Amino acid sequence: MLRTGLSRLTTNEKLKEAFSPFGQLLQANIVVDRASGRSKGFAFVRYATIEEAEKAREGMNAKFLDGWVIFVDPAKPREPRPPPPPPQQEPDSSEYGFRTNKTIGWCG
């Protein structure tokens, strides 16, 4: 299950404490930014059974946690990304990377 709208002050421990009354928690982790180490404002919580996860969703959706309203939704699998297209060579570029302008004209 996915939790969104988390306060940046919410910790993994607070998250576990809030969601543990609904069943056996297998995982409760806040997603953090790799560079800054700060919360991205959402987390994943996993239960032992679907029934426990549904109880948690019903019990915690649109509730306050650390002063913020949170939203609880089932997590969706990440969609595969298509491979990036191969780099295309500019038609009018030289071996040094300069583009040439073949337009000839005079404005006067």
**95 or 24, which is more confident?**
24
Other C-beta atoms lying within 10 Å of the C-beta of residue 46? 15
Which token pair is 95?
A: 């071996």
80 within a domain of the structure (yes/no): no
1-14 mean pLDDT: 82
87 within a domain of the structure (yes/no): no
pLDDT band at 98 (very low <50, low <70, confident <90, very high): low
* pLDDT at 107 > cutoff 60: no
66 within a domain of the structure (yes/no): yes
Spatial CA neighbour of 56 closest among 20, 15, 10, 28? 20
26 within a domain of the structure (yes/no): yes
Q: Please, what is the end-to-end C-alpha distance for the chain in angstroms?
A: 68
Other C-beta atoms lying within 10 Å of the C-beta of residue 66? 14
Query: Which residues make Cβ contacts (< 8 Å) with residue 93, sequence separation at least 6?
Result: 99, 100
Spatial CA neighbour of 14 closest among 70, 58, 95, 55? 70
| Distance in angstroms (rounded) separating the CA atoms of residues 24 and 61 | 18
22 within a domain of the structure (yes/no): yes
107 within a domain of the structure (yes/no): no
Residue 18: the pLDDT is: 95
78 within a domain of the structure (yes/no): no
Q: How many domains does the chain have?
A: 1
* pLDDT at 108 > cutoff 60: no
| Distance in angstroms (rounded) separating the CA atoms of residues 83 and 18 | 40
Tens digit of pLDDT for each residue in 82-94? 888 887 665 555 5
* pLDDT at 13 > cutoff 90: yes
* pLDDT at 80 > cutoff 70: yes
Domain extent, residue 67, equals 2-73
Tens digit of pLDDT for each residue in 17-73? 999 999 999 999 999 999 999 999 999 999 999 999 999 999 999 999 999 999 999
98 within a domain of the structure (yes/no): no
CATH of the domain at 10: 3.30.70.330
